[in-house]
């Protein structure tokens, strides 16, 4: 999608530090890490937010949740937090669906 920064990262038009890539999914390190390890996992196809997950595109989202444990295994961690911010009030700043994977420190619950 035009003017979507994560589409441009997925297309290689904007550089990123990749953690994992296949034909449907890209994982790359967040520019402003909130934990010792902070990776963003995105579907390569443009899905704006979690509200746009449908039976037609949900296989890619399921695939993301297969990829995340593989990334954790490859990077050598077992404990992590997965976050999706859906919408402005939840803190979604980039309107391309992404899952934050954070690891390497303690996390509080409930979140702020």
Radius of gyration of the chain (CA): 14
Q: In the set 91, 104, 105, 107, which binds ligand AMP (CB under 6 A)?
A: 91
Minimum CB–partner distance for residue 31 and ligand AMP (Å): 4
93 makes contact with ligand AMP (CB under 6 A): yes
The residues that are catalytic are 98
CB 97 within 8 A of CB 42: yes
Distance CA 45, CA 60 (A): 9
75 makes contact with ligand AMP (CB under 6 A): no
Q: Which of 12, 14, 7, 76 is nearest to 44 (CA)?
A: 7
Binding site for ligand AMP (CB under 6 A): 5, 14, 16, 30-32, 40, 85, 91-94
């Amino acid at each position: 999608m035009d003017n979507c920064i994560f589409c441009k990262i997925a297309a290689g038009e904007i550089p990123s530090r990749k953690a994992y890539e296949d034909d449907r999914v890209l994982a790359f390190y967040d520019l402003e890490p909130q934990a010792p390890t902070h990776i963003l996992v995105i579907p390569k196809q443009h899905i704006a937010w979690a509200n746009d997950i449908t039976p037609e595109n949900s296989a890619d989202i399921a695939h993301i949740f297969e990829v995340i444990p593989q990334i954790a295994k490859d990077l050598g961690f077992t404990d992590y937090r997965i976050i999706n911010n859906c919408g402005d009030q939840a803190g979604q700043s980039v309107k391309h669906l992404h899952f934050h994977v954070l690891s390497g420190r303690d996390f509080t619950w409930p979140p702020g």
